[in-house]
Structure 1
């Protein structure tokens, strides 16, 4: 019978140390990545909102002070038909009343790029935000401002005063426009006048490339039965949907109901 000779196998302690160090380094990397991602989420969902809202509120106060808010800005209310303006909003259009009355009303003049020049207020949402020319992210939207689409009408003008705003992060001024209902008021204040629009229609979802919703006579290119068929003085609010995505656009339309001097 053959005798078995026991063989002792020595484990490599250095190999164990290297493996343990590798596992520890991997765990640290995962933890660090998790912390970084958490900080990014906090930055996007909390800090950008706080920063943008503070800046937007400051800009609203600055505009009100510039316009002399609190002084006698009453003036005789005028109807929507007294307000003029081109479809592209590139210049004010004046209309002088007959019979020598001399009363002239005009839509707001197109401001310089990225300039905040109006304040939009939506009572149902408790919203007051500055409106700036253009829809760039860095210059307008990421500041918590509402952006005015170039080549659309200015406030009170005949055509479509079309606006865009973030729904999430960076102040998210349009987060809850899905809650607006027909008959809700939207006011737009400029240096000279206050324009009141009334919410009329909502398009809950459309393509980001649906340019028809901001046309002079707004009508969806994706859903042609939704929109309008005749000229008027409209306001359009657009934002991303669903929340935390930019896959589609949510659209709210309103019609000009009145204009008054400040």
Structure 2
């Protein structure tokens, strides 16, 4: 009887030990996961936002130096004078770079023309997007590559779309959450709000006209030269013009759908 009692107590103690170890392991894993989430949602967000603002300052300082050294360098109304991308995108060429997913190193040099770069390539930021309603000031770079552009807190221009101020569609993508989340509050934009694009001595002001609150990630019509949803054809435009398009994921912390904001160039 005594031997059996000791055996039961030993088994009971062993079970308690296993349960305690399991509980400790669960808590440890939970803490690690929480730290990873904090790092992803908070720390990388702060890093990207700070780096993006530094890039804006670098661009503006570079433009100021160039203007002071050679004020006649930037002249005329041709967007290509500053090395901006040409217009007339082919929707099929951006199908793989869907409006959902919305350049690389910090540089004040404008992006090369399409003839000087491969399709989908990216370079340093070449413009600054300002959205007064949101208090947003963010650099714009070529391409929508995550690591090279979007995760840096930049806004990326869809390959093949028109340059700022040009005829066609100047189409942009940006993160809504994490990595600087420049487009987190674009859902707050309303018709009549200004979208301002600065490019080396030039300023182009667009006015928000229409908003598509939800569409699929493969709705390439929203970034076509004359933007119109192919999923919801009642949303978009039917006449050629100078447009701007902002795309980001929706709902927040999800990449299931895309939110689209359109604007037209103010004369």
TM-score category by the smaller chain?
Answer: 0.7 to 0.9
Task: Name the CA distance, whole Å, in 2 between partners of 1:180 and 1:110.
Answer: 31
Task: Name the CA distance, whole Å, in 2 between partners of 1:69 and 1:186.
Answer: 25
TM-score by length of 1: 0.81
Q: Which residue of 1 aligns with 2:37?
A: 41
Runs of 4+ in 1 over 3 A off after TM superposition: 69-74, 82-85, 108-112
Q: Are residues 1:110 and 2:106 paired?
A: no
Q: In 2, are the aligned partners of 1:110 and 1:154 still within 8 Å (CA)? A: no
Q: Which residue of 2 aligns with 1:151?
A: 160
Shift of 1:10: 2.1
Structure 2, gaps ≥5 residues long? 81-85, 91-110
CA pair 69-196 structure 1, distance change in 2 beyond 3 A: farther
Shift of 1:194: 1.2
Q: Are residues 1:180 and 2:197 paired?
A: no
CA RMSD of aligned residues (A): 2.6
Task: Name the CA distance, whole Å, in 2 between partners of 1:44 and 1:137.
Answer: 14
Shift of 1:43: 1.1
Shift of 1:41: 1.8
**Which structure has greater helix proportion?**
2
1:204-226 deviation digits (Å, cap 9, x = unpaired): 00001111000111000111011
Aligned length: 232
Q: Which residue of 1 aligns with 2:87?
A: 86
Shift of 1:78: 8.6
Task: Name the CA distance, whole Å, in 1 between partners of 2:211 and 2:112.
Answer: 28
CA pair 58-83 structure 1, distance change in 2 beyond 3 A: closer
Q: Which residue of 1 aligns with 2:59?
A: 63
**Which structure has greater strand proportion?**
1
1:4-61 deviation digits (Å, cap 9, x = unpaired): xxx6642414323321221111011110111012112211221111100110000000
Larger Rg, first or second structure (1 or 2): 1
